[in-house]
Structure 1
């Protein structure tokens, strides 16, 4: 197995680990906080995908990751195939399209991209669920009780985990000897 294939395998394992930790985080301690009307959705997998998307140059690989992990997330967490399957690749291609504006990866830029991605993904899921008549929550309740707490929780988690996740994702993308 050559180095590039090993790095791709490592990227897939990294995303799968984040996928698993999403569920573990929700089960372990967010279940105790989600008893009322407030609903916090951990998005560690999205955090890892945004960081990898900022570093991977191959758009075809990004679309494949988006579709595969979108189907996996939909089948495991939602039961409705299509929500993440559609929105995740769209979000990844959008990030890839505008990352030329990035001079150098830094925490502020990646935090804003993650914030916008999370807002896009949660709002898109809400709109698709409304379209499919899976929810009857109005927009203000969604913003107040789901989107706001989810954004706050995930931004705090990103502040805590930024340095290790950025270092791992940087290492998993670079595979040339001169670039480590």
Structure 2
């Protein structure tokens, strides 16, 4: 049963992102602001921080592909960025001390990298016409604020869950 807990958590977070977009009013942060929940990616980053690089890369690739297939016309953006940023976070965590404040800051940094990476890919292939400063004001800041609030709410439960999962992996 414990083997299915982690995939079920990530599927729940995947569905929660979609529900959040549908149920929360679009003008939550003001007129014409774009807020993008990255609840699944936050879970992947905490998995990478507290369990390990291997788990983060595997789940990042699987759910990056799922995200591309379900939401994006171009397969590969999230399939590449999720595992790549999880890899960078694992390297950062080799330098940093693992505690909840550092996990919060590194997760916000990872989400910022994801947002900029997706914008740059979309800009490169002419999917978006927003200039970079408009992107920063309309999407980047509101997205970071929303995801920072989410991390404050679920950060400690994620930490506890993933530490227990890492202990069970070491015991097996």
Q: State the 1:7 CA deviation.
A: 4.4
- C-alpha RMSD of the superposition: 2.2
Q: Is the 8 A contact 1:63 1:92 kept in 2?
A: yes
Q: Which one scores higher on RCO, CA 8 angstroms, separation ≥ 6?
A: 1
Alignment partners' CA distance in 2, 1:122 and 1:44: 13
Q: State the 1:98 CA deviation.
A: 2.2
Alignment partners' CA distance in 1, 2:6 and 2:50: 11
Q: Is the 8 A contact 1:71 1:85 kept in 2?
A: yes
Question: Closer, same or farther in 2 for the Cα pair 1:92/1:7, shift >3 Å?
Answer: farther
The farther-off stretch of 41-50 and 166-175 is 166-175
Alignment partners' CA distance in 2, 1:176 and 1:38: 42
* Alignment of structure 1 residues 3-152 onto 2, 5 Å: 7-31=2-26, 33=28, 36-57=31-52, 59-106=53-100, 108-152=101-145
Q: Is the 8 A contact 2:45 2:56 kept in 1?
A: no
Alignment partners' CA distance in 1, 2:27 and 2:69: 24
Alignment partners' CA distance in 2, 1:161 and 1:176: 22
Q: State the 1:34 CA deviation.
A: 7.7
Unpaired runs of 5+ in structure 2? none
Question: What is the TM-score of this pair, normalised by structure 2?
Answer: 0.89
Question: Closer, same or farther in 2 for the Cα pair 1:35/1:122, shift >3 Å?
Answer: same
Q: 1:153 aligns with which of 146, 152, 159?
A: 146
Question: Closer, same or farther in 2 for the Cα pair 1:30/1:171, shift >3 Å?
Answer: farther
2:157 aligned with 1:164: yes
Question: Closer, same or farther in 2 for the Cα pair 1:19/1:30, shift >3 Å?
Answer: farther
Question: Closer, same or farther in 2 for the Cα pair 1:96/1:35, shift >3 Å?
Answer: same
Alignment partners' CA distance in 2, 1:11 and 1:29: 26
Question: Closer, same or farther in 2 for the Cα pair 1:30/1:173, shift >3 Å?
Answer: farther
SS of 1:130's equivalent in the other structure is: helix
Instruction: Count the aligned residue pairs.
Output: 172
